[in-house]
Amino acid sequence: NAGVTQTPKFQVLKTGQSMTLQCAQDMNHEYMSWYRQDPGMGLRLIHYSVGAGITDQGEVPNGYNVSRSTTEDFPLRLLSAAPSQTSVYFCASWGRGEQYFGPGTRLTVT
């Protein structure tokens, strides 16, 4: 199993640009989530999904959209990038009583 994969690893955007961070898992987990990690803030939940077609907001959802058309994929869309969205983004899936994390995407918005 590849586990949880994320692309790209690094991305630089200009303010106002949009992009999609990709996340996929091959463990057939129903629950998936997106976090952002900022220094001194820990990980904060952006959005999550409990299954295909079902998504919900986490702690910091503004400026981000998600969709879940399949069990495997859970992309995160930045609609109009802002410097405040400079962060490291982690995708995760939940199964067998624990959460599995992807390697992260480091995003810089200039």
Partner 1 sequence: AQSVAQPEDQVNVAEGNPLTVKCTYSVSGNPYLFWYVQYPNRGLQFLLKYITGDNLVKGSYGFEAEFNKSQTSFHLKKPSALVSDSALYFCAVWTSGAGSYQLTFGKGTKLSVIP
Q: Is 87 in the site for partner 1 (CB under 8 A)?
A: no
Longest Cα–Cα distance in the chain: 40
Among 19, 27, 50, 82, binds partner 1 (CB under 8 A): 50
Among 41, 69, 70, 110, binds partner 1 (CB under 8 A): 41
* Beta carbons within 8 Å of 11's beta carbon, 6+ residues apart: 19, 21, 105, 106, 107, 108
Q: Is 27 in the site for partner 1 (CB under 8 A)?
A: no
Among 11, 44, 72, 86, binds partner 1 (CB under 8 A): 44
User: Beta strands 54-57 and 105-109: pairing type?
Assistant: unpaired
- Scored b (16 or more CB within 10 A) or e, 16-49 reads eeeeebebbbeeebeebbbbbeeeeeebebbbbb
Q: Which stretch binds partner 1 (CB under 8 A): 12-20, 48-56, 60-68, 74-82?
A: 48-56
Among 58, 61, 63, 95, binds partner 1 (CB under 8 A): 58
Residues at the contact surface with partner 1, assessed by CB under 8 A: 31, 33, 35, 40-45, 48, 50, 56, 58-59, 90, 92, 94, 97-104
